[in-house]
């Protein structure tokens, strides 16, 4: 039986996550900010770019100086307000770490805080940041809280979260390797994530290939058309400037349409 057929009958945390991109391409994706990657993805996707893949609620990047992070999603649910989860907490944590260690890296831990909209405690701090960094994780996206921000940064572990908090409360892993919902967006294990101070982009499965080339092309398209027209407009009379600008927008759309069959952000 093919692997894909077998996996349909496995719990999500037992499924094998197969990365769709070579590591060197991940490194190149990290060189661009998340809006640039979005511009490329928009040309490739079959989904609505106004709703799919992006955070629909505000996030805060607590380590913007670290730049973007790119990795494959591993997922977790926590409920820090509920002490009952600690009854089997050590065993839960061991199984959760086994799940994390078995997934290919680089990994981004996407954490749904089941206490939302309340914020009781943080799964993240100096200890968990160092543990997860050792297990191949580069950062987290959590719709809960983080703490020990300086120590997390020192560990090289980036965090996008809703807020800061002081304590960890009763936080232990509750569910993992499952679909989670964070910042108004559903994320499944194995999705490619690109995130920075602007928010995050969780690429729908099957849309990873060609992403880098599309992002680079659209960035060059902007520079060769619209940006070129307006940055070279010093002293240009307004009627001539408007003419150049209108032509540059048309040129931008034509280049995008010729490449992808889609005129891009300005439309037809």
**Stated pTM of the model:** 0.90
Whole-number pLDDT of residue 17: 54
Which residue, chain included where needed, has tokens 């990795």? 71
pLDDT in tens, the chain (268 residues): 233 433 433 444 444 455 679 999 999 999 999 999 999 999 999 999 999 999 999 999 999 999 999 999 999 999 999 999 999 999 999 999 999 999 999 999 999 999 999 999 999 999 999 999 999 999 999 999 999 999 999 999 999 999 999 999 999 999 999 999 999 999 999 999 999 999 999 999 999 999 999 999 999 999 999 999 988 778 889 999 999 999 999 999 999 999 999 888 888 7
Domain ranges for the chain, please list them: 3-205, 212-260
Residues 6+ apart with CB under 8 A from 194: 29, 34, 37, 68, 69, 70, 200, 201, 203
Residue 120: how many other CB atoms lie within 10 Å: 20
Q: What angle do CA 90, 71, 6 make, to 5 degrees?
A: 70
Omega prior to 117 cis, within 30 of 0: yes
Report the alpha-carbon distance of residue 96 to residue 261 in Å, rounded: 44
Whole-number pLDDT of residue 233: 79
Whole-number pLDDT of residue 18: 53
The β-bridge relationship of strands 163-164 and 145-146 is parallel
Whole-number pLDDT of residue 54: 98
Are 74 and 98 contacting, i.e. CB atoms less than 8 angstroms apart? no
In CATH, the architecture of 3-205 is: 3-Layer(bba) Sandwich (3.50)
Report CA-CA distances (Å) from 145 to 60, 119, 124, 142, 187: 10, 7, 8, 7, 18
Whole-number pLDDT of residue 191: 97
Whole-number pLDDT of residue 8: 34
């Amino acid at each position: 039986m093919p692997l894909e057929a077998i996996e349909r009958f496995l719990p999500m945390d037992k499924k094998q996550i197969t990365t769709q991109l070579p590591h060197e391409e991940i490194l190149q994706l990290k060189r661009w900010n998340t809006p640039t990657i979005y511009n490329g993805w928009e040309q490739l996707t079959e989904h609505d770019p106004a709703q799919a893949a992006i955070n629909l609620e505000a996030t805060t990047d607590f380590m913007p100086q670290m730049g973007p992070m790119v990795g494959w999603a591993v997922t977790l649910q926590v409920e820090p307000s509920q002490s009952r989860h600690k009854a089997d907490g050590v065993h839960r944590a061991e199984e959760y770490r086994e799940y994390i260690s078995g997934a290919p890296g680089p990994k981004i831990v996407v954490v749904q805080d089941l206490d939302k909209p309340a914020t009781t405690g943080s799964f993240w701090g100096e200890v968990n940041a160092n543990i997860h960094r050792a297990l191949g994780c580069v950062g987290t996206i959590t719709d809960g809280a983080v703490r020990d921000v300086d120590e997390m940064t020192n560990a090289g572990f980036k965090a996008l979260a809703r807020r800061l908090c002081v304590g960890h409360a009763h936080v232990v892993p509750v569910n993992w390797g499952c679909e989670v919902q964070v910042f108004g967006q559903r994320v499944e294990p194995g999705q490619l994530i690109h995130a920075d101070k602007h928010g995050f982009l969780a690429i729908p499965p099957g849309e990873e290939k060609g992403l880098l080339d599309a992002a680079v092309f659209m960035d060059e398209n902007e520079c060769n058309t619209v940006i070129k027209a307006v940055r070279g407009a010093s002293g240009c009379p307004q009627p001539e400037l408007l003419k150049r600008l209108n032509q540059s927008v048309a040129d931008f759309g034509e280049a995008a349409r010729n490449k992808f069959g889609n005129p891009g952000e300005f439309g037809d």
